[in-house]
Structure 1
Amino acid sequence: MNNIKEPYSVLYIEDEKDIRANYVNYLDRHFEKVYEAADGEEGYEKYKKNRPDIMIVDINLPKLNGLELVRRIRENNHSTKVIMLTAHSETKSLLEATELKLTKYLVKPVSRRELKDALTLVIGELSNFEIIFKKTIVLKDSFYWDVQREELLNNNVSTLLTNKERSILALLFSSINTTFTYDEIIINVWYEDDYDRDKLDALKTIIKNLRKKLPKDSIKNVYGTGYKIEM
């Protein structure tokens, strides 16, 4: 880590106010976006709102402990990197939680050097992940989108798509969480600069059919505007 801010977001969850303020100040010098929370429930809400690249989580949190928080996140998300902060007495239970795919656990009190080393490891994992992510986009329920082949797969089995369905998915997956307007989608799929009611109705029908082929709530309708893939 250097003086240039890393292009990642971090959520730091710690119930001890002074410790949290100290490390949030440190993280803010090294990362573009830093969020904080004082308990597990607030942390989960901040996670859902901001979808951070990295989470630093105290295992012993009020309202929702760190393990349960990460377990809830891992139901749909295996890409966010997690560093867990633990007391010596908690390391055994933490080591048993292998399904949570923790990048690192650190025993408190954590020094700046230890945190820096852990974050350097996380940044390396994120950099490697981005290379893969450009080729495949992982969804819920064992679905993923192959970017290069423009193919939707479920458990490695290709899903049958029409040409227009494929074109729409390729556009929506080209920028996750970005809303594409009806105009943009119709121009991209039908190659027309404007559209009549029939085209809009046809688009809505295709989206309806695509939703049946994707995990629930993958395609979001932004009322009066267009559609987006939300992750």
Structure 2
Amino acid sequence: MNFYIVGKQQSTINYLRDIIERDFNNTIVGTTSDPQEAFYDVMRLSVDIMFIDLNLNRKNGIELIQQIQQNHHYPHFILLSSQPTDEEITKAYENGIDFLIRKPINKAEAKSIVKMAAQNIKMSNRIIKVLDLVSGAETNANTIIVSNKTKKKENSYAILRFLGINGGV
């Protein structure tokens, strides 16, 4: 899995980098404290999972998530926050985060969430392949039609709900 970390503090970025690279043999494709740099990086890089701090300079994490999604990029989002309000939590989930990790970061919790997010992606990809086979659509492993990605994601979540798997929803 390819990860990108947007954190306000370098110590948080380093801590997450250590968890991701050592324990899960994944790749960090970028890190920054600048939300605009993160946006440009995500537009050009292959990012599966993004860690985003809620409180960034010049923009909050939810605004960054909205900006990324408005440009038809849909990585999985894990939000980081010290003391989020109930309103911020609700808004974050409404805007597509998969998980919220409260700071200070608990290493065991972060490892578990990274593992669940990766499993959700793998399961969603399998379901998308099944849907493609069932629908008779021709697929190319290197090509994803962005306009269909949202629909496929919704169908995948519907199947996961039907199967009683709550982690993907």
TM-score by length of 1: 0.55
| Unmatched runs of 5 consecutive residues or more in structure 1 | 1-7, 137-145, 152-169, 179-213, 216-231
Report matched runs for 1:144-155 at 5 Å: 146-151=132-137
For residues 15 and 136 of structure 2, the distance between their equivalents in structure 1, rounded to whole angstroms, comes to 46
Partner-residue secondary structure (3-state), 1:116: helix
Moved over 3 A (4+): 146-151
Residues 1:39 and 2:34 are matched in the alignment:
yes
For residues 50 and 18 of structure 1, the distance between their equivalents in structure 2, rounded to whole angstroms, comes to 24
Residues 1:84 and 2:50 are matched in the alignment:
no
Higher relative contact order (CA 8 A, sep 6+): 2
For residues 41 and 59 of structure 2, the distance between their equivalents in structure 1, rounded to whole angstroms, comes to 13
Partner-residue secondary structure (3-state), 1:68: helix
Specify whether residues 96 and 22 from structure 1 end up closer, same or farther in structure 2 by C-alpha distance, changes over 3 A only: closer
Question: Residues 74-105 of structure 1: CA distance to partner in whole angstroms, max 9, x if unpaired?
Answer: 23234x21110012144531223433221110
The one of 56, 60, 63 equivalent to 2:58 is 63
Following TM superposition, by how much is the alpha carbon of 1:52 offset from its aligned partner in structure 2, in angstroms?
0.9
Following TM superposition, by how much is the alpha carbon of 1:22 offset from its aligned partner in structure 2, in angstroms?
2.6
The answer (yes or no) to whether the contact 2:2–2:49 under 8 Å persists in 1 is: yes
Specify whether residues 149 and 95 from structure 1 end up closer, same or farther in structure 2 by C-alpha distance, changes over 3 A only: closer
The one of 141, 148, 162 equivalent to 1:175 is 141
Partner of 1:200: none
Partner of 2:159: none
The answer (yes or no) to whether the contact 2:4–2:50 under 8 Å persists in 1 is: yes
Q: Which amino acid aligns with 1:65?
A: N
Question: Residues 139-174 of structure 1: CA distance to partner in whole angstroms, max 9, x if unpaired?
Answer: xxxxxxx455444xxxxxxxxxxxxxxxxxx4xx41
The answer (yes or no) to whether the contact 1:54–1:82 under 8 Å persists in 2 is: yes
Q: How many residues align?
A: 143
The answer (yes or no) to whether the contact 2:53–2:61 under 8 Å persists in 1 is: yes
Following TM superposition, by how much is the alpha carbon of 1:135 offset from its aligned partner in structure 2, in angstroms?
3.5
The answer (yes or no) to whether the contact 1:12–1:55 under 8 Å persists in 2 is: yes
Q: What is the percent sequence identity of the aligned residues?
A: 17
The structure whose Rg is larger is 1
Residues 1:105 and 2:71 are matched in the alignment:
no
Bigger mean CA offset, 58-67 vs 82-91: 82-91
Structure with greater proportional helix content: 2
Partner-residue secondary structure (3-state), 1:103: strand
The one of 131, 154, 158 equivalent to 2:126 is 131
The answer (yes or no) to whether the contact 1:10–1:33 under 8 Å persists in 2 is: yes
Structure with greater proportional strand content: 1
Following TM superposition, by how much is the alpha carbon of 1:120 offset from its aligned partner in structure 2, in angstroms?
1.9
Specify whether residues 91 and 59 from structure 1 end up closer, same or farther in structure 2 by C-alpha distance, changes over 3 A only: farther
Residues 1:48 and 2:43 are matched in the alignment:
yes
Following TM superposition, by how much is the alpha carbon of 1:106 offset from its aligned partner in structure 2, in angstroms?
1.3
TM-score by length of 2: 0.72
Specify whether residues 64 and 17 from structure 1 end up closer, same or farther in structure 2 by C-alpha distance, changes over 3 A only: same
Partner-residue secondary structure (3-state), 1:23: helix
The answer (yes or no) to whether the contact 2:20–2:111 under 8 Å persists in 1 is: no
| Unmatched runs of 5 consecutive residues or more in structure 2 | 148-169
Residues 1:24 and 2:17 are matched in the alignment:
yes
For residues 109 and 91 of structure 1, the distance between their equivalents in structure 2, rounded to whole angstroms, comes to 18
For residues 149 and 106 of structure 1, the distance between their equivalents in structure 2, rounded to whole angstroms, comes to 38
